[in-house]
Structure 1
Amino acid sequence: MFRLADDVKVYLHREPVDLRAGIDSLAILVEQTMQLDPWSRSIFAFCNRQRDRMKLLFFDRQGFILLLN
């Protein structure tokens, strides 16, 4: 278990996403569809159509991190 900083927000993209998408494609979704800044102190969650897999995208001070579960 881990703890997020108090100023970190978590956003869920509600529509299913093709999880073959990479960092660039997901960052564009954040900007254009969610109208948010992908470089903000936020975690963006994306699910596949079956809702049994998830990708998390977030930016730390050195670059983007993409996690697949």
Structure 2
Amino acid sequence: MLGDISRVQKIYLVTGRTDMRKGVNGLMAIIRDTYQMDPYANALYLFCGRKRDRIKALYFDKTGFVLLYKILDQGRFQWPCNASEVRTLTRQEYRWLLEGLSISQTKAFKHARKKEF
């Protein structure tokens, strides 16, 4: 299914700003040439532009590259804008990012235990 990332083993966030005019080949070049990583790996690579209101995600699904693009209607992504580097995200941090939350949550609520009365 197009956009199904359930089988992706790693999620990488490229911090800083990326030129959102770049397509698959340009983003592959960043992954390969700047960070010496394999764009064909079973991984999702996330990029964000200067305005932080849009992100691109790139991954290889065994038959070709999938490029996902999300533009927020309102607000901005809580994107780390420090020097360009690659950071590994957990699936929870990925969900937080897409929900507009900071990936640097210091604490998350634990699921409540079922109480017996």
- Shorter-chain TM range is 0.7 to 0.9
Equivalent residue letter for 1:58: Y
Structure 1 gap ranges (5+): none
Instruction: State the identity as a percent.
Output: 37
- CA displacement, residues 3-40 of structure 1 (integer Å, 9 cap, x when unaligned): 723x6100011121111101000000001112210000
Q: TM-score normalized by structure 1? A: 0.87
Which residue of 1 is the match for residue 35 of structure 2? 34
- Bigger-Rg structure (1/2): 2
Structure 2 gap ranges (5+): 71-117
Q: How does 1:1-69 map to 2 (within 5 A)?
A: 4-5=6-7, 8-69=9-70
Cα distance in 2 for partners of 1:3, 1:27 equals 18
Equivalenced residues, count: 67
- Of Structure 1 and Structure 2, the greater strand share is in 1
Q: TM-score normalized by structure 2? A: 0.53
Structure 1 residue ranges, 4+ long, deviating more than 3 angstroms after superposition? none
